Amino acid sequence: MDQNQLKQAVAQAALDYTLAKLDSDSVLGIGTGSTANCFIDLLANHKHLFLGTVASSEDSATRLRDHGISVFELNAVSEVTIYVDGADEANAHLELIKGGGAALTREKIVTAVANEFICIADESKWVSHLGKFPLPVEVIPMARSYVARELVKLGGDPVWRENVITDNGNLILDVHHLYPIASACALEEKINQITGVVTNGLFALKPADVLFLATQDGIVKHLAGSSN
């Protein structure tokens, strides 16, 4: 299978898992990116089974609405049953790097609200240690240079993702050369403490609950807290 077929397969596995947990009052959290898009397209055939969705980006909200799926403001929703999203890297602790699509802040917010976070990825995202993928950091525009200098002090090599403005009106710094990240939780906290940082793309303090990984041998289900 090529990478696109793997994404389709993992989206189908997540759909089967998710549909079994939904009722007519359920609100689903929907992530951003090409794997999440596969999930959205499959979800369209089942939109009568749940109340609606909240989206982690304007792009995903548009795609959902184009399928006739309701999209709510997060502030209008008291509970998100499940959040389904992709990742740029995932390790055996289900700690992730996300934000390749610049949607990391809204992704982290929906993750915080959701009862369960299901990550979907093809095997190219599975790593022993995080950090080869440059770590995205969303920053307030006027703080860009200051935050970059602070990230250098942490040993990183930040690169401004020029021409990208996030859905929140902010900028992205991609931090290279952090590999191997020894403690993802500690680094997530440390970067978030830099004034001017909105958030960073480490999802370690609240990792995924379940990871569906598409491999050439089939879908492998990883659970948080298991030895995998």
Q: Which of the residues are catalytic?
A: 107
By beta-carbon proximity to ligand 5RP, the closer residue of 146 and 179 is: 179
By beta-carbon proximity to ligand 5RP, the closer residue of 102 and 148 is: 102
Q: Which of 174, 172, 176 is nearest to 196 (CA)?
A: 172
Mapping DSSP to helix (H, G, I), strand (E, B) and coil, where does residue 156 land? Answer: coil
In angstroms, the CA 56 to CA 62 distance is: 11
CB 209 within 8 A of CB 116: yes
Number of residues that bind ligand 5RP (CB under 6 A): 17
Minimal distance, residue 8 CB to ligand 5RP, in Å:
12
208 binds ligand 5RP (CB under 6 A): no
**Burial profile 53-90: b = 16 or more Cβ within 10 angstroms, e = fewer:** bbbbbebbbebbeeeebebeebeebeebbbbbbbbbbb
By beta-carbon proximity to ligand 5RP, the closer residue of 152 and 164 is: 164
34 binds ligand 5RP (CB under 6 A): yes
Minimal distance, residue 154 CB to ligand 5RP, in Å:
21
CA-based torsion, 166, 171, 176, 182: positive or negative: negative
Q: What angle do CA 177, 99, 117 make, to 5 degrees?
A: 120
Binding mask 163-202 for ligand 5RP (x = CB under 6 A): ----------------------------------------
By beta-carbon proximity to ligand 5RP, the closer residue of 37 and 81 is: 37
Enumerate residues 6+ apart whose C-beta is below 8 A from 59.
Answer: 32, 101, 103
**Interface of this chain with ligand 5RP, residues 56 to 115, rule: CB under 6 A:** 85-88, 98-104, 107
Site for ligand 5RP, rule CB under 6 A: 31-35, 85-88, 98-104, 107
